Amino acid sequence: MPRFAVALFVVLALVLSASPSPLAAPAAARHAPKLVVILVVDQMRADYVEKFGDHWTGGLRRLMDEGAWFREAAFPYMSTVTCVGHSSIVTGALPRSHGIINNELWNREAGKGANCVADPDTTLVSYGSPAKGAGTSTKNLRVPTLADEMRAQLGAATRIVSLSMKDYTATTMAGRRANAVVWMSLSNKSLMTSSAYAAAPVPWVAEFVKAHPVESDFGKTWTKLLPESAYSYADDAEGELTPGDWTRVFPHVIKGKGDQPDSTFYNLWDASPFSDAYLVQMAETSIDTLKLGQSAGTDYLAVSFSALDLVGHSFGPRSHEIQDVLARLDIVLTSLLAHLDKTVGRDNYVLALTADHGVSPIPEQMAALGLNGGRVVASDLVGRIEKALEPFLGPGKKVVRLTYTDLFFDRGIYDKMRANPDAMRAALDAARSTPGVGRVFSADELASAHGMSGDDIENSALVNFYPSRSGDFVIILQPYYQLALGPNTRTGTTHGSPYWYDRRVPVFLLGQGIRKGQYLTPIAPLDIAPTFAFLCGITLPAADGRILNEALVGSNGR
Ligand SMILES: [Zn+2]
């Protein structure tokens, strides 16, 4: 070939490979995925990937290398807790739209709270010993889930499976109906579903549970997977809370108080990598049994891994336990992804992995490093507010509930404060001047705010605000401070603040229609559901998130 022709050929080849044909469009409806998979790793901080990812070689590593990795994803709202996170991920909506503003929803009339998914019109359906009591549903969720809309809008049947170790995560990720929703009920010591989904145990789940009894892990030992040098920070660190008879250092034996499985055993098992491995096995069985992604239509599989959250609350984000749960999750996810490749086909499913919130370091560890951090004793804070109200409303108990950021006054009290601006000001001043408290908003202040200000903390409270459910006061502590139940609480940690350690989480996308790469655009996990809805060719009615077009093959002319 003459030199000129070679050059022309090279130029043409470059042009052709650089820009697809003008007809190329984002791969929506024309070719919907056969299976949508949403994986949530409860309490996974975004920086775990940055800090510990070098030691991963399996499924998490594959997401980093082959997936679209959004490194600057964060929740836009304040109440960074489990039920709010899962609700936002699967609806694509903000708490002010979907209405799940906390793990517990407080009923002002009844003067009591209930789990966000509790539904007295349903009953528990047990896979073990018989269980009594109300079941769960998403009736408190004010907008449909992605799975609900797939079921409603896609032409062919959509099979829906949602698995977790917690009732509110398994329930929320599904929606109104599903083929299987399963969680571990610690109080009943068995796997469970709700009559909202099945009037009787689902046969394939019952068979799985029988073939894989949780109790067969009794007496097993959780040791470190990686060489000692792979772990950052110290294994034995101040402020670590040790469940059961575990100590602050490895190894951890998964057993009860005696030689039989008791509630201690189930708690420790739940908080160990064994529970993550169990969920993966059950997920793979659901794929095989229901032939997920292998029939006409698009199916839906959601799994929420709870071990990291339980371990994180006890040992904190700097612990070797956290690093080991992640290293072991990396391994079991290798299996799940390989199973999806084999049964559904690498280019026939789309998968997201994210988290429902992050977590704060243990306050005592931050204080030991010379940073501000500590605990605000809940009864002290409440006492100061009640004391400030005494001159106006007389002595006595006035606050009935303080859960994370939401404080509720007893019936009628808040109305009296509204009618007396001096009383309102005194109570707000008392809360605001409590050591460790950062910001305090009254419900009226949030209700009368006209749109977003430049104040990020205030915005995070506004998008979290749902008038009939939010607290009368919203109380945000200073960074690295958290509420303590008693003056002697100096161990463990939590989340639920508008600070970035609670808000930043990873978002990975993988599979059909996804362009691999690292993306630094600030996004939110709320963008996953609208993106998957787009790939399925359907519309979510009330999503606040956006389509992550930058990570879609064929978008923006690329
Ligand atoms: Zn959580």
Residue 30 binned pLDDT confidence (cut-offs 50, 70, 90): low
| pLDDT tens profile 213-223 | 999 999 999 99
Please give the distance, rounded to the nearest whole angstrom, from the Cα atom of residue 307 to the centre of ligand 1. 10
Q: How far is the CA of 348 from the centre of ligand 1 (A)?
A: 30
CA 436 to chain centre: 26
Q: How far is the CA of 494 from the centre of ligand 1 (A)?
A: 10
Q: For residue 31, name the pLDDT band (cuts at 50, 70, 90).
A: confident
CA of 312 to the centre of ligand 1 (A): 10
**pLDDT of 129 over the 80 cut:** yes
Residues 12-35 as b/e (b if ≥16 CB within 10 A, e otherwise) read eeeeeeeeeeeeeebbbeeebbbb
- 395 C-alpha to center of ligand 1: Å? 38
Question: How far apart are the CA of 4 and the centre of ligand 1, in A?
Answer: 62
Q: From the CA of 450, how far away is ligand 1's center (Å)? A: 31
Distance 303 CA to ligand 1 centre (A): 13
Mean pLDDT of the chain: 93
Between 22-31, 234-243, 267-276, 523-532, the lowest mean confidence (pLDDT) is in 22-31
Determine the distance separating the centroid of ligand 1 and the alpha carbon of 472, expressed in angstroms: 24
Q: How far is the CA of 358 from the centre of ligand 1 (A)?
A: 8
Whether the per-residue pLDDT at 67 is higher than 70: the answer is: yes
The pLDDT, as a whole number, for residue 554 is 78
CA distance 214 to 261: 9
What distance in angstroms lies between residue 392's CA and the mean position of ligand 1's atoms? 40
Burial of residue 259 (CB within 10 Å: 0-12, 13-18, 19+) is exposed
Query: If you average pLDDT over residues 309-327, what whole number do you get?
Result: 98
Distance 42 CA to ligand 1 centre (A): 5
Instruction: Give the distance (Å) from ligand 1 centre to CA of residue 516.
Output: 27
* pLDDT tens digit sequence for 365-374: 999 999 999 9
| pLDDT at residue number 534 | 97
Does a cis peptide bond (omega within 30 degrees of 0) precede residue 251?
Answer: yes
Spacing, Cα 356 to ligand 1 middle (Å): 5
CA–CA separation, 156 and 178 (whole Å)? 15
Q: How far is the CA of 354 from the centre of ligand 1 (A)?
A: 11
41 alpha carbon to ligand 1 midpoint, in Å? 8
Residue 367 backbone dihedrals phi, psi, to 5 degrees: -65, -40
* CA 255 / ligand 1 centre spacing (Å): 24
**Ligand 1 center from residue 505 Cα (angstroms):** 12
Q: Do residues 359 and 501 touch, judged by C-beta distance below 8 A?
A: yes
DSSP, collapsed to helix, strand or coil, labels residue 510 as strand
Task: Give the residue-averaged pLDDT of 204-209.
Answer: 98
What is the per-residue pLDDT across 167-190, written as a single tens digit (0 to 9) for each?
999 999 999 999 999 999 999 999
Which amino acid is it at 340?
L
Cβ-based neighbours of 104, under 8 Å, separated by 6 or more = 113, 114, 115, 116, 403
What backbone torsions phi and psi does residue 371 show, to the nearest 5 degrees? Answer: -95, 160
Q: Measured in angstroms, how far is the CA atom of residue 81 from the centroid of ligand 1?
A: 6
202, 208 in Cβ contact below 8 A? no
Whether residue 16 has pLDDT greater than 60: no
Distance 26 CA to ligand 1 centre (A): 33
Q: At a CB cut-off of 8 Å and minimum separation 6, what does 7 contact?
A: none
Expressed in angstroms and rounded, the spacing between residue 517 Cα and the centre of ligand 1 is 27
Enumerate helices (H) and strands (E) in the chain, giving the number of each: 20, 21
pLDDT in tens, 253-264: 999 999 999 999
- The band of 555, judged by pLDDT with boundaries at 50, 70 and 90, is low
Strand pairing class (473-477; 437-442) = antiparallel
Structure tokens at 4: 């000129």
Q: How far is the CA of 504 from the centre of ligand 1 (A)?
A: 13
Interval 375-433: pLDDT, tens: 999 999 999 999 999 999 999 999 999 999 999 999 999 999 999 999 999 999 999 99
Q: Ligand 1 mean position to 3 CA, how many Å?
A: 63
Measure 315 CA to ligand 1 centroid, in angstroms.
15
**Secondary structure string (H, E, C) spanning 389-436:** HHHHHCCCCCEEEEECCEEEECCCHHHHHHHCHHHHHHHHHHHHCCCC
Give the Å distance between the CA of 171 and the centre of ligand 1.
14
Distance 170 CA to ligand 1 centre (A): 12
Angle at 249 between CA 191 and CA 365, to 5 degrees: 100
Ligand 1 center to 275 CA (angstroms)? 15
- Per-residue pLDDT, 507: 98
Instruction: Choose from 152-156, 185-189, 256-260, 300-304 the range with maximum mean pLDDT.
Output: 300-304
pLDDT at 322: 98
- Rounded to an integer, the average pLDDT of 83-98 is 98
Distance in Å, CA 50 to ligand 1 centroid: 20
What's residue 155's pLDDT? 81
Is 27's pLDDT higher than 90?
A: no
Distance 82 CA to ligand 1 centre (A): 3
pLDDT greater than 70 at residue 15: no
C-alpha 403 – ligand 1 centre gap (Å): 15
- 537, exposed or middle or buried, with CB in 10 Å at 0-12, 13-18, 19+? middle
Residues 6+ away with beta carbon under 8 Å from 30: 537
DSSP annotation of 514: B
Q: How far is the CA of 495 from the centre of ligand 1 (A)?
A: 8
